[in-house]
Amino acid sequence: MERLVRLAGCPWNTTICYRVSLLPEFTPEGDLPVGVHSAWWTEFQSRFGTATLRRAWLFGRLETLIAVAADTGKLRRVFVWGSFVTTKPSPKDLDILLIMSEDFDVASIAPAAQAIFDSTRARLLFNSDVFWARESIGQATLALWLETYQTSRTFRKRGIVELELP
């Protein structure tokens, strides 16, 4: 469901500062409704990255991780799910799927950037479970993965977020 949100710093008597918000309201359980919901970076930060010190710290980890992945020039899509995209005040970690271009090669990027694509190092450095694939994964397989990521550990269905890249 789309809704209008007032952008920070805009006077209340002007409508030019309003835009459509893409993220829906939370369910009574504190989750996003089932589905893949798109969000701009600023909306995502406002909604999930500032409410508590833990959320702000995790958001900083996410911001760094995405910046490093984007610096490869091969990042195409980013999905986030799990406790970070809920109302939980203290999410355990970040759960992320990076879709990289077809010609992406981990061995050809800087060693520091390679940490993102190594599950153990990503967990230690970014407090994140990072999954990644090339675009050639195909839409059918990606849809299956995204369906799986919408299932919580208690087998409850919930929504995930795709970040809009600049």
Per-residue confidence band for 11, with pLDDT thresholds at 50, 70 and 90: very low
Phi/psi of residue 52, nearest 5 degrees: -140, 165
CA angle 130, 135, 136 (to 5 degrees): 120
- What is the distance in angstroms between the CA of the first residue and the CA of the last residue of the chain? 23
Partners of 38 in the β-ladder: 162
Summarize pLDDT for 43-96 with one digit per residue, the tens: 999 999 999 999 999 999 999 999 999 999 999 999 999 999 999 999 999 999
- pTM, two decimal places: 0.86
What is the Cα gyration radius of the chain?
16
- Name the residue ranges covered by the structural domains of the chain: 23-163
Summarize pLDDT for 120-148 with one digit per residue, the tens: 999 999 999 999 999 999 999 999 999 99
Lookup: tokens for 117: 């694509």
Given a cut of 80, whether residue 14 has pLDDT beyond it is: no
pLDDT at position 165 is: 86
